[in-house]
Every structure is written in C-alpha cells, then in structure tokens.
Structure 1
Amino acid sequence: MTTSPIERAAESFAVELARYRTERGLSKKQLATLMGFDPSYVSHVEGRRHRPTEDFARRAEAVLEASGTIWQRFREYDELRHGRSATPLRDHPAPGQWMPPGTGLIVERERAVLTYTGDAYHCVIRRELYNAGTEPVTRYLVRVAVDRYPNDPGRSNRHHRDHPLTFAELHLRAYRDDGGQPEPMHWRAKHDRDAFKEIWLLFENDEGRFPLYPGDRVTIEYAYRVGREKWGPWFQRAVRLPTRHLEVRLDLPAELDPLVWGLETSLSAEEGPLRRPVVRHDRADRAVFDWATEDPPLNARYRLQWRFRSRPPESAPGGPAGGVRARASDRMRGLGIVQRGADLLRQPSRQFDLPAEAGVAREVVDRLGSALVRLDELHPFSKGVGIAATQLGLAWAAAVVRPPDRAAEPVVLLNPRVVDSSPDTDEQYEGCLSFFDHRGLVPRSLRIDVEHAQWDGGRLITSFEFAMARLVAHEIDHLEGRLYVDRMTPGVPLVPVEEYRETGTPWRY
C-alpha cells in the first residue's frame, strides 16, 4: 500500500501520464517513440518501476499536450523529493521549449510556398533555425511526399508504384543564409520510396563546412519541383520540431478558379477545419492563398487542399476564349508544344550515353509523361498519341507513345531507330501536335522493327504493328528531324482540321 507522500506523488504522475496517453490513442511504445525514449521506458514509469525525470516530464507534457497537468504532477513529486531547499523549477514550459533528443533545434519561423505552373508544382521552404542545444548541428532532415489520389489510397499506391518519384526529377537545391552570401548545401538521400523521400541537407559544400553552433541562428532554404501527374491537390506541413511561427502560401492560376480549404489534426484533437481562415489575394493572373499560425503544437499537421472549378479557355476543347474559338495549334502552343517552323523540329536529336546519362533520360521521359497527361485533358486521342522530346524543346532522342488501348502501358523509346519494316503499307490520316490545325494522308508500313536502348545501356528490338507501328514511326521521324508531310504523296494536300472533322474516319486495323 502506498503511504509515502513521495510515492503518492509519483503514482499521481503515472496516473495522469496513462490517462493522457490513452485519451490520445497512443500505445506505450508509440508515446516512447514520439518522446525519443526506449520503448520500455514509458511502461516502466506507468508501472511505477521507474521514477519520472524532469526531461521525461517535459517531453511527455509537450507530446501529449496536457495543458500543464503532467508538468504540475511532476513538480509536486519533485518538490517532495528534493524538499523545500531545492532550487525551484521553471514555470510550465510551452510546447516549443521541449526539443527532440540529439538536435536542440528550434524553428523560429517557417515559410512554405507552393506554386502551380500548369505542368508542375514548385515548392520552396524557408526556415529560420536556432540551435538551443549543446552540440553543433551538421545536417538537417527534410521530407518530400506525394499522394496523387489522397482520397483513394489503393489507386494512389498503384500509381506511384508504376510512376515512382525520382530524385532526378525533384531538381532539389538547398542554401544556407546567415546574412552574408548564401552558401549552397550538399544533400544526401536517407530514404528512397516510390512516393516518399527523406533527405539530409548537409551544412557543407565543396568549399568547406559550416556547422550551426549552439546559440547561433541561420536560415536555410530548399526547393524542388514535382510534375502534376504525381502531385495531388494538397499541401501538408507537419510540425516535427518546436516551431514559433508557421506560414503557408498557395500560388495558383486564377483562371482555374481554385477553391481552397484546410484541415488540421494533433495528438489532442481529431481532424477538423483550420482554426484560422485561409485568406485569398488576387494578383494579376494568380490566385494567392495565405495561412499562418503561431506556436503550433508538436506533431500537429496542417493540410491545405483545393480543387479547380474551371479550366483555362485554351484548355477547353473547342471552347471559346473571349468569344473567339481558340485554334488547335494555339492550344498546343499553350501546353508548351514546339510548333512547325521551329529549327529544332528539323534537326536530328542527340543520343543518350547510357547508362551514364540515365538520370537525364529519366528526367526527359518524366517530362514527356507529364505532357501526355495534360494532352489527354485537352483532347481524347482515341487513336493513341505520342510525343517526342524535340516537341518540348529538348534535343534528346526520347519519345513516349500511349497506345490506342488506354489500359496499356505507354511505350518509352530511347535512342530508337527503325531496323526493318514490312513492304505492306497503307495510308491513314495523321495529325501532329506541332501543327494540329491540319491532318494529312500518310503512307506507312504495317509493321516496323525498332531497335531502342534500355536504362542500363542494353539494346533490344521490338516489333510494332498497325496503329502502334504508325504512332511509333511518327515519333521516330520527329527524332530524326522529319515531319509527316515529308512522307505524304506529292500533290496530296493537307486537310484543315475543321474539314477533317466532317470527312475523317477512324483508323481501320
């Protein structure tokens, strides 16, 4: 039976600890992990086998957001343990006063800006850091996560398994700024998953090292981009270090009429709407949404979400723009497709040196895939569609072809060349993204054999027939500096797309 006042105070602490842990829905192991303790330690404290320490009490108070109750129970215990002659403890700490073990870092201010440019999301994070610990800091952990379909986890997992996020496409860059000349920061991958990256930003570069010493402050900034086909309509900030001020900005095209809302969650509260409103500012052709909070609790998460209620005039197939129907070629130009007349379309593309340039090749293919996603929103392309790197202004020998069967995987072609073709041919109408206002009757072989490279530099030969033979041959022509008009029978005119809509017929294979 507990009779000692000290034992009763220790038991009171253990009871409050267990109560708040249970209310937060945490196991003992989960709480220990969040606090930075060995998994068995929480169990020992709750079981009265270990007495609480000041460090343990501060961390428990901060993580469980107990409104000072756990801290008060510890003060009562500690005063009895030391007697009245003990040095008084400091007042109840704000959550930001607790720091995860081994860091001592405080984020005095964080500003996160996400900008959507039509083909990609560009993220810039700027953090003002203070080293309140006792050891120099030489690296800083950051995370990049994507979730294309946040309301459908299964679909999102499949999507990212088939189209994993790569370090090459992030174009990650980081800088350290202490008030002088900004210093580039090297970085090193920690975890590499299909939809999740953890990255160490290093306080060093080729010129030297610049640790953040105790008592010093510094601002770091890092930026990256993710294609729209991998980024879902959300932007989340998680509070993993004590943070004084957090602000988030979304910069979206006003013509898309974005609607933005936000949710927040923490260990002490279920998911609910943001306590502070998101404020919209219109600036020229941009809709800017700002949100901020002070002293966010540790482990809180704030998520901004949005949807676009309209599409840009040039993206609406056949839709009016200011009362005038946009030309098909103008809509393609608006998506960044190089148009007929550009010198690049008449120049042979550059071959990849694989596997040495595999990273560059993957980046180019990612951009081609992103372009196909945008094109599918603009036009049905029931016959399939392809795009060559030169059509995006990239002088590389790469193309991606989506088959007529939408369930089939796109075909990636690196350094392709036709090595054999069937003598049997037919004529079908073709269109080209680089002059989409016309269609032309083009003779093609019914089968072609294409030698193309793999990521590791190996080469293989693939046979394509009928519709796929036509689509692939069209893209290889682009990579060799040719357009389909070069293959048309002399004297056969191009057909304006308006006329073709009335007379054109589907491919028959």
Structure 2
Amino acid sequence: MTTSPIERAADSFAAELARHRTGRGLSKKQLATLMGFDPSYVSHVEGRRHRPTEDFARRAEAVLEASGAIWQRFREYDELRHGRTGAAHRDPPVPGQWLPPGTGLVVEREVATLTHTGDGYHCAIRRELYNAGTEPITRYLVRVAVDRYPNDPGRSNRHHREHPLTFAELQLTAYRDDGNGREPMHWRAKHDRDAFKEIWLLFENDEGRFPLYPGDRVTIEYAYRVGRDKWGPWFQRAVRLPTRHLAVRLDLPADLDPKVWGAETSLSAEEGPLRTPIQRSVDGGRVVFDWGTDDPPLNARYRMQWRFRSPEPDAEPDNAPSGGARVRASDRMRAVGIVQRGDDLLRQRARQFDLPADEQHAREVIDRLAAMLVRLDELHPFSKGVGLAAPQLGIGWSAALVRPADRAADPVVLLNPRVVDAATETDEQYEGCLSFFDHRGLVPRPLRIDVEHALWDGSRVITSYEYAMARLVAHEIDHLEGRLYVDRMAPGVPLVPVEEYRETGTPWRY
C-alpha cells in the first residue's frame, strides 16, 4: 500500500501518463518509440519500476500534447522528492517538441557552402542557433571528415594513413554574432584521426566568455580548407540537432563541366536519391548547385557528389565508376579498421586485464573503442544502439563498449565481463555485426542477463541488463569469448543480405 507523499505523487504521474497515452490510442511501445526511449521504458515507468526523470516527463508532455498535465504531475513529484515548495521552484517552460537530452540547442537555419578553389576546397558553415534548453551552453561540437576515394574505401584508408589530415592545414576560423557584433571563437581539438577531426568551438576568446543562455539566439560561422589531394568529390551534412532549415551549396568551376547528384539516408530508410531536385545556376566562370530542405529528421544524412567531365589539371585519376557505385558495407567497415570475419583474432578468447595494475592500458583501449564509435557514426545510423569489442580493432584484450539506443545515455564499459546468470525466457531478433556488416541474422537471446565485470580499481560487480541492452551486451561478450552471432543462430536459418533486410531504423521489438 502506498503511504508516503512521494510514492503517491509517483503514482499520480504514472496514472496521468497512462491516461493521456491511452487517450491517444498508443501502446506503451509506440509511445516509447515516439519519445526515443527503449520500448520497455514506458512500461517500467507506468508500472512504477522506474522513477520518472525530468527528461522523460518533458518528452512525454511534448509527444502527448498534454497541455501541461503530465509536466505538472512531474513537478509535484520532483518537489516532494527534493523537499522543495512550489513557490521556491523555478521551472523552465515545457518545450513545444522534445529535444535530445543533454542539449537544448535548435539549429534554426544552416547554410553550408563548399567552394572549389583550384588547389583544394574551402568549406564555410553558418548556423543560426537557439538555446531552447535550461542551461547555458559554452561549447559547440563540429566534425571534419575527408574521404579521398569514396568508391574505394581501402585505397582511401591507405591514402589518409600516408597523408593524414592535420589541424594546421585546416586553417580553421570560427566566429559568433549575437546581433551586437562579431566575435572570434577559440577552439579545442576533441578527436584527431587521419581522416577525421572533432573540434569544440568555445564560446570564449582572449577578451572574455559569452555563453549562450536559455532563450537566447546566436549565429556561428566557421570555415576551413582542405587540399585537393585529400578531399574527395563529395560533401555530406548530418543532422545531429533539431534543425528547421538546411541549405547546401556547391560552387564549382564552369570550365571543369561538373555533374552533380545527391543521396540521403535516415534512421528509417536506406540510401536513396534526394527528395527534391538540386538547382543549377551559372555565375560567370562558376557553376553553383543549391539544395535545401525544411525540418530534416534527426540523424538524416544528405550527400552531394560530383564528377568533372573535363579533367582537372594534374588531377590523379580516381578509377571510380561514374554515378557513384555502391560500396559494400563490409568494405567500409574494413576501410576504417574493423577486423572482418575470417580473421583468426575473432575466434580467440580475449586476454584478461590485471586490474588495477593494467588500468592505464585498459583506459587506452576504451578510448580507442570510443573514438571508433564516433567514426562509425559517419558511416551508419545505429538506431538500435551499437557495441564494439576490442578484438574487432585487432586488440586481443577483454574490453568492450556498448552505446544504448538512447544516445544521451552513457556508454556501458565492459572490462573482463562474463555472464553469470540469464533468464530462461528468450526471443529472436535480427542482429548485425560490424565484422560482417553485409548481412543480418536472426539470433535467439535471453531477455535478461546478469554480467559480472571489473571496475578500474579491480573490484568486480554484477550488473543486470534487460531486453535491448541484454542483447547488445551479450553480443559483445560473445566477441570477447571468440564467438560470433552466427554461432547462436538455429541450424538451417540463413543470413539475410543487408539489401533485403527491411528493418533498418526500426526499434527493437519488446
């Protein structure tokens, strides 16, 4: 029997959530999908197995359009939980639509321009930002990726290994403009790889700091240069924040007679042509190609590609088929350094760390796994979550990293893990593997597993995982024990070629 005020408030929140959900005709799984949560999460909240969080309440309020009722129930619960009174509680407004947790940024307009300069390319990005969140923002993450031979991943990987992209050659500049003047922005490197950089643009410079406060707007501009020897014939924009309008422009020399086409991918669709045409115009000796879209979906990718029908002076031939021939998924994974099926290392049991003596080594391995997951985001939208085990990077140590479907959640670090208990109830769902990404396989897994694993200090703990996380974690532990998911498939069940697989972008079914 519920007796405490906090428990009664939690009951009221769960009841309000269920009332609005059923009123909308939504199942728990459907609501969880719309909110961006694991399909079982709504069930856990309504069943009082999970306490509601602010992020959950905000998303539920926005998705169900509850006129503030769900949010009010959460406020009552939250004030009791923290011992606050209603008068003392300053509450930010409920957003009109849910935003990814951990960021309140909205891109109101992005204009990305790539200009051929003869010896290379100049890229300029202009973004109009609005802080719709509750906290000041002090930095903004940007990515720079190059791929010299997009139709030949192996060749491109070798090329960038021998000729890595450097921060010095980028000549990166960044500015902010809040309407009261233009200020330079400092920047700091986050990841530095041969063909990929992640950079924090800081809302500060030598003259001071200028955070973007809740409710404020600012325009940021940043630009960089890449030589023709490193930039391939493509320009991609990825939608990582809620975006109202995206515009892309290519400015190419007319005397090279450029031919341009485009493609798009999203969490719910495989690659296909751009849904709207690219507009072509001539301006003196330049040919300008413009394309834009309103309200692009989160995690969508838009790529414009081109070829010059008149060869560039001193240009090295690409030997690539015109029109952008499709590259096998496994080739792309191999090109970025993922060990592929058939390598003996994937069939060997990984070596255990001696913690805490091996702590520094273990942290270095986890850092490499984390950096690779960032790189992989450029290649595929992992809507169901993703994991990576050290042997898949050619590292024979017992470490893995698992990122849940909710990208705001912290990745799960697994050191020397082993399954110590599992539910008898199982289900079968399709899995993919970075080490043979051309196929998907129907794999039975337990709905719950208990995993004993090491912490950095050498102590061991047991963590229980359910449903999607149980499947993701079990997949990576298999890698550390020298197994692949095909070993767990029922006899006679065939692998499905990725071209025939129809569930890309759909959530796990629980």
- TM-score by length of structure 1 reads 0.49
Larger relative CO (CA 8 A, sep 6+): 1 or 2? 2
